[in-house]
Amino acid sequence: MYKKILFTAMLAAGLASCSEDYKDWVQPEQNTQQDIKTQTLKATPVSQSIDLETTEGTAVQVLTFDTLQGAKIVEASFHATLDDKAYVMPVDAEGYVQVKDLKKAITTLYDRSRTVREIKGKVKATLKTLPTAAQPQSLTIYVETETAIAFQAQLPDEPTYCFLTGTPNGWPTEANLPFIPTQEDKNVQTLTTYFKSSWDGKLWYKEDVGNWDAALGAEKEEPLTDGKIVSKNIGCFFAPSKGFYTMTIDIKQMTYRFTECEEQFPAEYSKIGLIGGFNDWGGDYELTQAIGTEDTPSHVWHAYNFTLSEDTELKFRANGGWDINWGNDADFPYGQGYRGGSNMKVAAGTYDVYFNDLTGQYLFIAK
């Protein structure tokens, strides 16, 4: 459907009399009222399907506007909807949206899985008339179209980082307790820490941390070995019992499971640090440990905005000594460090760094 937009050429002098440029007018000229003109705004999808895996650049074209007669688009937005969910994306005059906005629209309406999704909604636009001899002053006319737009899009196959907030880390609204993707499947991610078996937490995707409306949780709020992850009417995750568990999530299948750790009395370290070429292998760049529960450390450490001015090699080590250290020169930006393993090779840049001293797992998120 298309909504017709009416432009009325008002009495030019009558409009001008409100302008500072014509404040000294005594007798405005009399012009005859112009005929009402009818303008139809039409938007057409540029493609039936957009794969963000192959999209280059920061913006992608999702629609085109038919040429307007006597007007131009000042701003426009795409209002995508699905059931009771909605997401608004700015659209430029050529029909381009930011890739990050389209990703957010897909995940808000659906989830993070790499599945072809239908994006439906309508376009809203602000139009401004172009000056004419009869109407030299442009008018800004706010227009809401009802043009139905539908196209398909799918997320790129890239890691989506998830974080837990709950009793293991004191329910913070910050990203300090990460799930680490596995090398076999980046959609399958694990977190090993101490769980209390009550109100153990909810999930956030990295870009949603701190937004409770975007939190994910358990379908059933009770101690379970496994279950479904949901985004509506969510409950907290409950581990089967108190103790150290590995929680595994699959953000494509939207499932979770708890596996009890064999070691229930792990070693504790006073500090975990980074050491390497960036500091001439002298001293430690210390990480901060996420708050634990019931006097039990989380064993998960982090450093925000860790900056390397040039490519380097580095390792994680405990208590400022070399007797316990971890390395892995094969996997980056996430993987598992091994005791006494090879130096890690890290490119110059700024990262949020995470390390789990129970498993040796690490994660570098480029900023």
Residue 32 has pLDDT above 60, yes or no: no
Point out which residues pair with 290 in neighbouring strands.
none
The CATH number of domain 162-260 is 2.60.40.3620: yes
The answer to whether the 4-154 and 272-366 domains have the same CATH topology is yes
Fold of 272-366: Immunoglobulin-like (2.60.40)
Compute the chain's Rg from CA coordinates.
28
Half-sphere exposure of 147 (CA within 13 A, CB side): 23
Exposed/middle/buried for residue 192 (C-beta within 10 Å: 0-12, 13-18, 19+): buried
Half-sphere exposure of 149 (CA within 13 A, CB side): 28
The CATH number of domain 4-154 is 2.60.40.3640: yes
> How do residues 81-123 score in pLDDT, each as one tens digit?
999 889 999 999 999 999 999 998 998 898 777 789 999 999 9
Exposed/middle/buried for residue 30 (C-beta within 10 Å: 0-12, 13-18, 19+): exposed
- Is the whole-model pTM more than 0.75? no
Residue 114: what pLDDT?
78
Exposed/middle/buried for residue 41 (C-beta within 10 Å: 0-12, 13-18, 19+): buried
> How do residues 301-313 score in pLDDT, each as one tens digit?
999 999 999 999 9
> How do residues 264-298 score in pLDDT, each as one tens digit?
999 999 999 999 999 999 999 999 999 887 778 99
- First-to-final CA distance of the chain: 43
What does the block give as tokens for 156?
């790129």
Nearest to 285 by CA among 351, 191, 206: 351
> How do residues 158-207 score in pLDDT, each as one tens digit?
778 999 999 999 999 999 999 999 999 998 999 999 999 999 999 999 98
* pLDDT (average), residues 122-140: 77
Domain-by-domain residue ranges, the chain? 4-154, 162-260, 272-366
> How do residues 221-265 score in pLDDT, each as one tens digit?
999 999 999 987 899 999 999 999 999 999 888 899 999 999 999
Pairing between β-strand 140-154 and β-strand 49-51 as defined by DSSP bridges: parallel
